[in-house]
A and B are shown apart, each in its own frame.
Chain A
Amino acid sequence: MPAVSKGDGMRGLAVFISDIRNCKSKEAEIKRINKELANIRSKFKGDKALDGYSKKKYVCKLLFIFLLGHDIDFGHMEAVNLLSSNKYTEKQIGYLFISVLVNSNSELIRLINNAIKNDLSSRNPTFMCLALHCIANVGSREMAEAFASEIPRILVAGDTMDSVKQSAALCLLRLYKTSPDLVLMGEWTSRVVHLLNDQHMGVVTAAISLITCLSQKNPDEFKTCVSLAVSRLSRIVSSASTDLQDYTYYFVPAPWLSCKLLRLLQCYPPPEDGAVKGRLVECLETILNKAQEPPKSKKVQHSNAKNAILFEAISLIIHYDSEPNLLVRACNQLGQFLQHRETNLRYLALESMCTLASSEFSHEAVKTHIETVINALKTERDVSVRQRAADLLYAMCDRSNAKQIVAEMLSYLETADYSIREEMVLKVAILAEKYAVDYSWYVDTILNLIRIAGDYVSEEVWYRVIQIVINRDDVQGYAAKTVFEALQAPACHENMVKVGGYILGEFGNLIAGDPRSSPLVQFNLLHSKFHLCSVPTRALLLSAYIKFINLFPETKATIQEVLRCDSQIRNSDVELQQRAVEYLKLSSIASTDVLATVLEEMPPFPERESSILAKLKKKKGPGAVSVPDLEDGKREGGELNGGGERGPDSAAMSASNASTPSPSADLLGMRSAAPMSAAPTSAGSLLVDVFSEAGPAAPSAAVNDDGFLRFVCKNNGVLFENQLLQIGIKSEYRQNLGRMYLFYGNKTSVQFASFTTTVSCPGELQSHILSILRLNVQTKPVEPVVEGGAQIQQVLNIECLTDFSEAPLLNIKFRYGGALQNLSLKLPVTINKFFQPTEMTSHDFFQRWKQLSQPQQEAQKIFKANHSMDTEVLKAKLLGLGTALLDDVDPNPENYVCAGVIQTKGQQVGCLLRLEPNGQAQMYRLTLRCSKDSVSLRLCELLAQQF
């Protein structure tokens, strides 16, 4: 039994482990563990001081129990005691326990840091390494604060042992990743870079990870590493397989270091120095050549190590994207791997080719492998390899091979693994749209998609086909005919019914001439599916029916009968009932002219980014849809929807031009924006006289702030008011989306002319291309004229992409009695609008509270009460904030705690809030802890002005 234990075996531990292994059931195991825990607890609490060995043994048992998946809430102190033991094994177990069961208990951290400090200064390399491993394993901010300045010194000191240098380099890297602000490399930079030249290969291997990370963050300061890396690489690549002794791995010289060097070079553009570049190209060629040589060993480790270097070299070649010769060689090499008997190599070749496909130098070369890739999609046994093949087909698709690729992907879909169907559907839909030259092919493809994989066709896909059919009149007849045929199938997918209903409702007339698809036949076909469909589809069908009445008066009686029957007009679903009632009434009282106007064909849709592309990006993460691919999409998407895209845009443009009958516009022949900015000087004086107190309406358009703050905890109300204009607001939010209705009321009896509004988002105005758009706000232009006493409405669609602190700006310009009015307001879109309340127990709350313990995650403010401190008022405000107000969580009933999750497109940010009122002092203390620092700060700022 304990015979398997080696070296210093702790007999008690071995006995305990075999007891656990002999337990027949989970219950028996738990019983045994509880017994042991009780035993250990009593030993730790006992009067008798434990010797080091026993302490070590019990701490080790606790660790074992913890690793089995049980909670451990004691023993930390004993483990910390072990750290200062001068027996190596005791120290080692102490460190292991601390590394695995970190605890943010500040008292302990101080003790741990003390022990580490002692070991670091002990000059005993074994102890120093233990301490460094512990810092790297825990990597907390407190440790960074304590040691970030000490470790670089150890790393570059001349008398440090190699093994300690290695640990120090990686320990520093860990601290740099957790707290980059605390690791200041300044004076050490050049000595750290020169570690690349170190004699000891192990030191270079460890240091290069650090250097790579630092180079990514500060490329300029570290750029001398490029030439050093190239010469090191060149020495390795040209060495014989035995030169590097134990750093040769299965006849491959230093594979890990080689990969790391090639990876470091990928942080930089190709070397400018001709000699360095020449040497590097030589290395890359040697690596490519070696791939063709016969293997030095049959072991898979040999080929793996060799090919690891080869793939990393190919990544570098692709990264440089400037050496056509190397790119084509890389592509040929990958082509060979596509047919390799090792599944791993086939997988990697497919993956690597995906990136190669986006280079203009190698795109054509990649395309030559299409048959092999299609074959892989059909015959690979492993679904993850098939998935890579599908990805590559998507990446290599262009106009020349789109039909073939789409057809192959469609046929693959019939048998595809369920886990990848949805993504495949999106890809097929995107390719079909992007490369459609002939729209009947596009319509066929999408309908096939619905037929084969209807369940995986998301709304975006079928919305898109309808948008395109409506925007292209050359395909409407074909689309009507095809859906009509598709609907003949005895069982057809509900998505097909949706598309069919919509298209026949719009364009059924185009095929009504054929007696086989006469209006009544069309109607009966659609209606035969009605009862099998869900409510939204039925609602869509009802709309199709009323459109039929307009298109084909002869169907009126039949359809009215359908609408009139109880299952429609008395349907328990409100939406269906309302549609049935209204459509029935409309069809019986409206004249044909009115009906024709109301039920006119849908106008073309304004062109946006393809919603399916957006969906794929969301699914795969923004990096996954490669950049050239996207540019391509925009360029060619325009072609596909040319008519639709230009139509409404140019119409809107001319409308807004026409609606600014300002004399200066004609005179200068400028666009509508120009006179606006030119006018204020003349308009200013007039305004000040008449409305001296209407500050915000002054031409300088000072941004109005106070209205904004009133809306942090509420969604509806009056945002702004002066003698001329009142702006009301109504808004609703769900997850990361929001809709805001703005109501502009003209309080005068004179019309406002040239009324324009623009909304600009934070980040949008900075011209720098890399600045992130944090909020996406879409709206349509408003009516250019607001009559006296009238009100117009504008709808804004808001999408929160990531957390933000700047609110969008609303700028309003209009002419009132000849004077230009210019007004800027902050729109009350604040980060808290995207809260989802989270209910949790007191225990959960405090556990999370502790988890969010990094100092920058917390924001706190102490401030004087500005408003009533009444409990009900406070509660209402906190609920308005969007979080859940948690009862019975805070031990002090006077305090309020709330929890919620902010939903942005990219991520979710958990937030906890605690508000502690002090009635006597009329003060509050507000504390926020969020998983994202910037959110804590912003929420604290916003809320401090609310109470």
Chain B
Amino acid sequence: MMPIERLADMEEKLRILEDLNMIYIRQIALSLKDSDIQKKIDYEIRMREGACKLLAACSQRDQALEASKSLLTCNARIMAYMSELQRMKEAQVMQRVARRSSDAGPMDDRSPCKGKVAISDLRIPLMWKDTDYFKNKGELHRCAVFCLLQLGGEIFDTDMVMVDRTLTDICFDNTIVFNEAGPGFELRVELYSCCSEEDYSAGSTPRKLASKLSSSLGRSAGKKMRAALEPGACSATSNGGGATILLPVPSVQGPKYHLLAHTTLSLSHVQDSFRTHDLTITGNEECSYWLPLYGGVCCRLAAQPHCMTQQMMSGCLRVKLGGEPQGWTNVYGVLKGTNLFCYHQKEDMEAKVEPVLTIGINKETRIRAAEKDPHSKAQNICITNQYGGEEVTHTLAADSREDTQRWMEAFWQQFFDMSQWRQCCDDLMKIELPSPRKPAIVTPKQGSLYHEMVIDKSDDIGTVTDILARRIEEFELRAQLGSPPHWMALFDEDPPHTPQHLPPHSPSPRLHSRQPRSPRCQRTPGLLSSNASLTSDSDSPASVSPCFRQAWSPVASSSSGRFRPRTLSLDAKLSTLRGRGYNGFRCNCQPPTASSVSPRPTQTALSCSSSTSSSSSSEGSNSQESDLGFSRPSGARRSLRILRAKLDPRNWLQSQV
């Protein structure tokens, strides 16, 4: 069997296994009468399928990285839900066993209240060699990184950040809030990274090979082999190998993230300010995804137990105010956080009126039930606090015995929670809710002039012309015989002199030959209108870019274009030209932001910008045509060119088959 067929067979088996496991999982969920987790698992599986499809379909590197990240997160979540399901099943079985054997003790363990745990402002310092950082030479080794945060059954991922040696720290701006965390929580922070090298030159061979294999598009056989051969290809997270059998991960092409570092945070790490924690680093310098981490992670870990934020108990009480034994005042008491607030009436609390009396309930407070008061039906509750060396006791009474019991119970629970949550109960820690996230702006790298030019809004047209003028000098040096792009005629109001006919099948067109004939072109001052969305129209019919030399007779218009200073903006001319239907290869100039056309006696920049962009586009289309007969250019360069051509949406891509 051919290796590809064997792989397809394996995939078939994996799929069957997956189906069987899904049935098993559903049975467990059914027996637990818990449909919640089932729904969550189903949802994550759907998300995962979507991510796989997106990964297979997308062609841009950034999209692929994002999709791969979503895939990893989905997998982690599925693992977490499944292990939770298993645990619940085990717990159920254990309970049944315990009940049957009658040695189960009284179940009066108090359980602490849950709380919110928030982690924010993650910052991981990097430790580049100072030579790397300051010299900034050579190819930029870039990695895409993100953090996966897991607490209990909740898993969140941060946004993806591209890291290269110009960064000193990896910063994640996200605030992640976990809602139902117990005081014994374990927050696992994992840093994943994926090499994102676009340069195929230099570097260590394994890295180069690895990046080639993982980032080349369309090499399905090689990718499948690699995914199958790679150890641990099936496990997206480090959650033990056993779980991977349950729901095997479909092997997909595309960038793969690897675990770079991890750490586990718990209650002792919670503080209202920033702290640095140690990171355990997996991986070494040989790995493609390696980054020189300093070894720590700085973040703010805050916790808000529910006992601090929610009303734990409320009801009507009577307070003895003043020294008189008969001075009972009716109040509405609310136990929240470290205080018992007593309001005149319930409505006051809702109206946020100041309470009549506030009794502190904290670690130092002592509460006891007093002897039965002969005048009342129930016991009194005495709350004693130390206020600056003095002991102050408040006496409260509830309406009935049950109420007293409930209040005492609430107080005990509060004390218990405070002992469990420790430092979190001293003061309420602020947690900022994350604002709705803006979608990450993905700018694909394009090989056109406008992406190589950096123009500030404050720059004037002068900067643009300077850049373009520089370009034209480089360009002129390379000018050879060949007809100028036909859009040159836009700047010529005279009718074209002699239409140029290019030979229909010119041999091996090289980049240079596409450029206009400099000797003949008199470059009188003229300025490229930055507005020019140059279309391939001119006075001559069926004009076609020289890039596209096929059977249609390329009628490039006048080569000897004279450029005259334009006093009017080109917009008018261009709009008329656009109005006419055009047939042919559109020249690729995008209108940038600068708007005015100032006639200046600088060299015409027209030709250079268009030629640069048409050179990028011709490079795209050229790559496939540049050979005669059946020879193909080398694979790597070809795929790189195809990638560039694909990224440029203004190209009309052609592929050789």
Interaction A to B: no
Chain A residues within 8 Å of B, Cβ to Cβ:
none
Chain B residues within 8 Å of A, Cβ to Cβ:
none
